[in-house]
Amino acid sequence: MKKEIALKVKSKFVNKYRNGYPLIMKEAILNLNDLNEEGAIVRLVDEQNRFIAKGYYGKQNKGYGWILSQKENDQFNQHFFDRKIQQAFKQREHYYNDPDTNAFRVFNGEGDGIGGLTIEYFNGYYLIQWYSKGIYQFRDLIINTLKNIAEYKAIYQKKRFDTKGKYIEDDDFVTGERGQFPIIVKENGVNFAVYLDESAMVGVFLDQRDVRRTIRDKYAKGKTVLNTFSYTGAFSVFAALGGAEKTTSVDLANRSLSKTIEQFSINQVDYEAQDIIVEDVFNYFKYAVRKQLSFDMVILDPPSFARSKKYVFSAEKDYKNLLKEAIAITKKNGVIVASTNSSSFGMGKFKGFIDTAFKEMGKKYKLLEEFSLPDDFRTIKEFPEGNYLKVVFIKALL
Ligand code: SAH
């Protein structure tokens, strides 16, 4: 059995952990120096050495590890991982039974009781993502669980912990029969080409499923749609399938051109009737203003942080200005879909950016609907930061 390290929690954080907060934070612990090897089992105790909770040490951008149990006698053995992962699978039963969708998340980190670990399902293939060296120490147990409870063609993995700023991608394959990539997966009847062997981004961000469907089913018909930070063009494909007059996808990564062509093509949409532009979004906005282009729908889905040749974008600092650029080229009564995956602010603040942006542009707006994570991206109320996705549909009035 592994040795357990006692971590003393500062008194002002004791209640937070007793109430189920799952992330071990640097500022909450008095004796961080006692930690050395990631994967060690840690027991959080108060200053009188009374037990609070236990978990593992694993460094992630977010913290120093995760609480796995509030029961002193719990052991993090095969039975423990079997139980957690089985529960998570059970909660996704309706996805497994959905004939139109075969790509979803089956295990969502702390939302399913084990921070630092996610598992996704892509039409017979599983992808495990390890977010720290610490959780990776439990790989044999976790992979065993998956082998025992899941039916699969193959299991792949990504080690998302940082080694010199790059993900280690040399041995993504774990077990089963290697896939021929891309594999084609389905989401609400729409195809996606997925590459589990490529990089941290496999071709689709599953957390936007409900937003894509909504754009297709309720908003796209007859509309001109500008999709910024478009990556593989997922929103454009759904808009086109929903009857958009035309879509324009803008992303500065060279790969986005071939990947977007591929997504349109595997859905029988003629990509030549769409615009796919490899360019910095911020240059494109200026170009559009100069050319007096305007759109019925503008989709904004930037990364939380991005650096391009000319611009640095941080969602927290710059989202308001991004909205202003979008407002300037949105038609009257058009719709802006504003999305952010930044966990550094919540929905309230995000709506504040929206309000300020419209005020500064001297325009009125109406909030139409909003989205957060879908239920396969399970979250817990004790960790609101885990519910990072915020998407707002806004009607630009005059
Ligand atoms: N909206 C996409 C996901 C976006 S991922 C989807 O639904 O699948 C973020 C993308 O933003 C990446 O593809 C990246 O290349 C692009 N990006 C980052 N900074 C950019 C910039 N300044 N201009 C254009 N694209 C940018």
For the cut 80, the answer to whether the pLDDT of residue 390 exceeds it is yes
The answer to whether residue 123 sits within a structural domain is yes
Q: Using a 6 Å cutoff on CB, does residue 208 contact ligand 1?
A: yes
Say if residue 215 is in the same domain as residue 134: no
How far separated are the first and last CA of the chain, in Å rounded? 67
Q: Using a 6 Å cutoff on CB, does residue 280 contact ligand 1?
A: yes
Q: How far is CA 69 from CA 10, 80, 111, 397, in A?
A: 19, 10, 13, 50
Confirm if 329 and 288 have CB atoms less than 8 A apart: yes
CA atoms within 13 A on the CB side of 51: 13
Please tell me the distance between residue 229's alpha carbon and the centre of ligand 1 in angstroms.
3
The answer to whether residue 177 sits within a structural domain is yes
Please tell me the distance between residue 17's alpha carbon and the centre of ligand 1 in angstroms.
36
Among 172, 194, 216, the domain boundary falls at: 194
Say if residue 341 is in the same domain as residue 236: yes
Q: How many domains, in total, are found in the chain?
A: 3
**CATH number reported for the structural domain that contains residue 13 in this entry:** 2.30.130.10
**CATH number reported for the structural domain that contains residue 392 in this entry:** 3.40.50.150
The answer to whether residue 201 sits within a structural domain is no
Say if residue 96 is in the same domain as residue 233: no
Q: How far is residue 339's CA from residue 2's CA, in Å, rounded to a whole number? A: 43
The answer to whether residue 165 sits within a structural domain is yes
Q: How many Å separate Cα 283 from the centre of its chain?
A: 26
Q: Using a 6 Å cutoff on CB, does residue 230 contact ligand 1?
A: yes
Say if residue 126 is in the same domain as residue 242: no
Q: How far is residue 30's CA from residue 251's CA, in Å, rounded to a whole number? A: 45
Please tell me the distance between residue 303's alpha carbon and the centre of ligand 1 in angstroms.
6
Interval 135-178: pLDDT, tens: 999 999 999 999 999 999 999 999 998 665 555 555 689 999 99
Say if residue 244 is in the same domain as residue 392: yes
Say if residue 172 is in the same domain as residue 249: no
The answer to whether residue 199 sits within a structural domain is no
Residue 198: what pLDDT? 85
Pocket test for ligand 1, best of 229, 232, 277 (most atoms within 8 A of CB): 229
The answer to whether residue 202 sits within a structural domain is no
Residue 283 CA: which ligand 1 atom is closest? 23
Interval 316-359: pLDDT, tens: 999 999 999 999 999 999 999 999 999 999 999 999 999 999 99
Interval 193-242: pLDDT, tens: 999 998 889 999 999 999 999 999 999 999 999 999 999 999 999 999 99
The answer to whether residue 334 sits within a structural domain is yes
Q: How far is residue 79's CA from residue 76's CA, in Å, rounded to a whole number? A: 8
State if pTM tops 0.75. Answer: yes
The CB-based long-range contact list for 304-309 (8 Å cut-off, 24+ gap) reads 304/340, 304/341, 304/342, 304/343, 304/344, 308/252, 308/280, 308/282, 309/280
Confirm if 387 and 373 have CB atoms less than 8 A apart: yes
Residue 311 CA: which ligand 1 atom is closest? 22
Say if residue 86 is in the same domain as residue 227: no
Residue 208 CA: which ligand 1 atom is closest? 7
The alpha-helical segments, DSSP class H, found in the chain are 11-18, 78-91, 93-96, 133-136, 139-149, 209-214, 234-241, 255-265, 281-290, 315-328, 347-360
Say if residue 23 is in the same domain as residue 87: no
Say if residue 89 is in the same domain as residue 220: no
Among 47, 69, 91, the domain boundary falls at: 69
Say if residue 272 is in the same domain as residue 381: yes
**CATH number reported for the structural domain that contains residue 120 in this entry:** 3.30.750.80
Q: Using a 6 Å cutoff on CB, does residue 257 contact ligand 1?
A: no
Confirm if 119 and 128 have CB atoms less than 8 A apart: yes
Say if residue 260 is in the same domain as residue 173: no
Among 17, 42, 69, the domain boundary falls at: 69
Residue 62: what pLDDT? 75
Residue 334: what pLDDT? 98
Q: Which residues constitute the domain of residue 389? A: 207-396
The answer to whether residue 229 sits within a structural domain is yes
Query: For atom 13 of ligand 1, which residue has the closest CA?
Result: 231
Pocket test for ligand 1, best of 251, 277, 305, 321 (most atoms within 8 A of CB): 251
Interval 347-381: pLDDT, tens: 999 999 999 999 999 999 999 999 999 999 999 99
Please tell me the distance between residue 233's alpha carbon and the centre of ligand 1 in angstroms.
10
Say if residue 178 is in the same domain as residue 221: no
Residue 3: what pLDDT? 76
